[in-house]
Amino acid sequence: MPSSKALALIFLKCAALPIGIACKTVIVAVFKGFWVRLRGRGLNMRRLKYALAMMTWLVSVATPVSAAEPVPRSILILDESAGAAAGPFYAGIVAALRASVNSDPSRQASIFVERLDLSRFRDAAYQDTLTAFLENKYRGKPIGVIVAVGDGALNYTLRLQSESWTQTPVVFTMVDTGAASGVKLPANVTGTTFRLKLPQMVEAAKAVVPNLQSVAIVGDAFEHLVPYRHLQHELPAIAAAGIQITDLPAMPLRYVRRRVADLPARSAIIYTVMYSDGEGTYLAPVEALRRFADAATRPIIVTTESQIGAGGTGGFVVVSSALGQHAASLVMRIFEGESVSTIPITEGNAVRPVFDWRQLDRWNVGESQLPPNSDIRFRQPSAWDQYRWHIGAIAAAVLVQFMLIHWLLYERRRRQQSEAVARNTLVRAGAHESRGNGQ
C-alpha cells in the first residue's frame, strides 16, 4: 500500500486533472501499491480477495464522482429526413433547438447536423456505410449529447450508440408515444414523445364543416408511417360514431386529384403525409399536398405545422418549433449536470390546434366554431387594422370641420335674427315718430 505521503502527492497531481481522470489515476496508484505488497508477501487467495474487495470499493466511490463530470457543450443532431428535400418541417425542429440552446450568447454550444434520409434509404448496407462515415468524421471531436429527430433516427442512434458512442447521452424528439414505448431504451436515453389522434382530426373537420357526414383520408399507407400507424386502430370508433370514411391510401396523385375534386358537400379531407406521387417520384409531404390541394372542393385537415399555408385548412398539427424546444430543454438539463437516467420520458404538448385564416375565410368558418385556444395563422388585417391612425385622423378632421360649419351657421342665424330685431325696432320707432308728428 502506498504511504500517506505518496498518496498525498498523487492527490495533488490529480487536482489539476479532470475529475474522471483523477479518480482513475488514484485507483491505479492504490492498486499498484497493493500488488507490490502482495507480491512481496506471496500471493494467496485471502490476500487476492482482499485486493479485489478494495478495488471494488474504490471503483464504487469513484463512480458517482465521475458521473458528475460535465459533458462537452456540443450536440450531434441526427435528423431522419432528407434535409431541404424533405420540406420545412424538420428544418423547423432543428432551427428551434439551435435557437433555444444558444439563446445565451455567453454559453454557446457547438451544433453538428447530419441528415440521414432514412425514409428513402433503409437497407442495412446503407446504415453500415453511414456509421463508418460518422465515426471517421467525428473522430477526435467530443460530442456531449446526440439528438435523434424521428423514429427512424432513434432506432439508428441506438444502434450507433451501442457500437460507437456508448457513453454519450441521447435525447430524442419527433417520436410517436407508442413507438417509444415499444423500444427497450438504455438508461442514458431520454426524450419527449407526441401523439396524433384521429378523433382530434375529426373534431377539427366538424369545426370547419357543420353537420359533417364523411371524411376522405389521403396519404401513404398507415403501416409505412410510424407516427400514423396507430390511426388504423381508431377508424372503427369513428365509423361507429356515424362518420363515413373513404380511405385513399397509396393512391397515385393524379387519381387523388380526381377523387378530391368530386366529394359530397358535408365532407372533409384528412391528409397525413405522402412521400411519393405513387409513380416513382419522391416528394416532400408539403409538396404532395400542394399538388392536389388546388383541385380539392372540400376543406383539408392537416397534421403538421408546415402544411398550414400549403393548402391545408388546419387541424391539430405537430408544431415543429415545440418539438425543437422540448429537445433543447432536455439537452440543457444534461449540460447542467443532471443525470440522463433521472430524466423521465414524457409526452410533450407539441400537437396544437392551428388554422389558416385564408382557408377559414374561403369556407366561411367563424373563429367561434374552432377548438379552444386555436392559433390562427396568415390573418389578413382589415382596413381598420392597417389604417386605423389614418382613419382616426380623417374622422377627427371631419368632426372638427362639421363643428366649425355648425358654429358658423349658428353665428349666421344669430346675426340674421339680430339684424331682423334691429330692423323691426327701427320700423316701430319710425312709425311711432310719424304718428307723433301727425298729431
Which of 44, 67, 90 is the last residue in one of the domains? 67
Q: Are 243 and 190 in contact (CB under 8 A)?
A: no
Whether residues 225 and 292 fall in one domain: yes
Evaluate if residue 17 carries a pLDDT over 60.
Answer: no
Is the model more confident about 419 or about 315?
315
Is the model more confident about 436 or about 114?
114
d(CA 290, CA 283): 11
Whether residues 112 and 175 fall in one domain: yes
pLDDT band with cut points at 50, 70 and 90 for residue 65? very low
Residue 340 covered by a domain = no
Evaluate if residue 296 carries a pLDDT over 60.
Answer: yes
* pLDDT score recorded for residue 424: 76
Q: What is the pLDDT of residues 245-254, one digit of tens each?
A: 998 877 899 9
Residue 325 covered by a domain = no
Residue 35 covered by a domain = yes
Task: Please state the rounded mean pLDDT for residues 284-312.
Answer: 96
Name 139's Cβ contacts closer than 8 Å, sequence gap at least 6: none
Task: Please state the rounded mean pLDDT for residues 376-388.
Answer: 75
Evaluate if residue 20 carries a pLDDT over 70.
Answer: no
Evaluate if residue 11 carries a pLDDT over 50.
Answer: no
* pLDDT score recorded for residue 394: 79
Whether residues 215 and 156 fall in one domain: no
* pLDDT score recorded for residue 234: 95
Whether residues 105 and 93 fall in one domain: yes
* pLDDT score recorded for residue 380: 82
Q: Which residues on neighbouring strands pair with residue 271, listed in sequence order? A: 218
Task: Please state the rounded mean pLDDT for residues 225-247.
Answer: 94
* pLDDT score recorded for residue 15: 42
Q: What is the pTM of this model?
A: 0.75
Residue 437 covered by a domain = no
Residue 94 covered by a domain = yes
Evaluate if residue 16 carries a pLDDT over 80.
Answer: no
Whether residues 117 and 137 fall in one domain: yes
Whether residues 182 and 227 fall in one domain: no
Whether residues 237 and 155 fall in one domain: no
Range of the domain at 48: 4-67
Task: Please state the rounded mean pLDDT for residues 176-189.
Answer: 93
Q: What is the pLDDT of residues 189-231, one digit of tens each?
A: 999 999 999 999 999 999 999 999 999 999 999 988 999 999 9
Q: Are 34 and 52 in contact (CB under 8 A)?
A: no
Number of domains comprising the chain: 4
Evaluate if residue 431 carries a pLDDT over 50.
Answer: yes
* pLDDT score recorded for residue 126: 95
Is the model more confident about 259 or about 406?
259
Q: What is the pLDDT of residues 72-95, one digit of tens each?
A: 999 999 999 998 888 899 999 999
Residue 330 covered by a domain = no
Evaluate if residue 439 carries a pLDDT over 80.
Answer: no
Helix (H, G, I), strand (E, B) or coil at 384: helix
Evaluate if residue 24 carries a pLDDT over 90.
Answer: no
**Residue 105 phi, psi (nearest 5):** -60, -25
Whether residues 138 and 177 fall in one domain: yes
Is the model more confident about 34 or about 110?
110
The grid coordinates of residue 10 equal: 498523487
Whether residues 221 and 368 fall in one domain: yes
**Nearest alpha-carbon partner for 301 in 197, 437, 172:** 197
Is the model more confident about 144 or about 384?
144
Q: Per mean pLDDT, which range of 229-238, 273-282, 408-417 is the poorest?
A: 408-417
Which of 159, 194, 229 is the last residue in one of the domains? 194
Evaluate if residue 303 carries a pLDDT over 90.
Answer: yes
* pLDDT score recorded for residue 64: 43
Whether residues 215 and 361 fall in one domain: yes
CATH number of the domain within which 243 lies: 3.40.50.2300
Which of 28, 46, 67 is the last residue in one of the domains? 67
* pLDDT score recorded for residue 55: 56
Whether residues 89 and 236 fall in one domain: no
Residue 39 covered by a domain = yes
pLDDT band with cut points at 50, 70 and 90 for residue 14? very low
Residue 332 covered by a domain = no
Other beta carbons within 10 angstroms of residue 298's beta carbon come to 23
Average per-residue pLDDT for the chain = 85
The grid coordinates of residue 177 equal: 408515444
Task: Please state the rounded mean pLDDT for residues 236-247.
Answer: 94
**Distances in Å between the alpha carbon of 298 and those of 294, 311, 370?**
10, 11, 17
Whether residues 409 and 310 fall in one domain: no
* pLDDT score recorded for residue 23: 47
Q: What is the pLDDT of residues 327-372, one digit of tens each?
A: 999 999 999 999 999 999 999 999 999 999 999 999 999 999 999 9
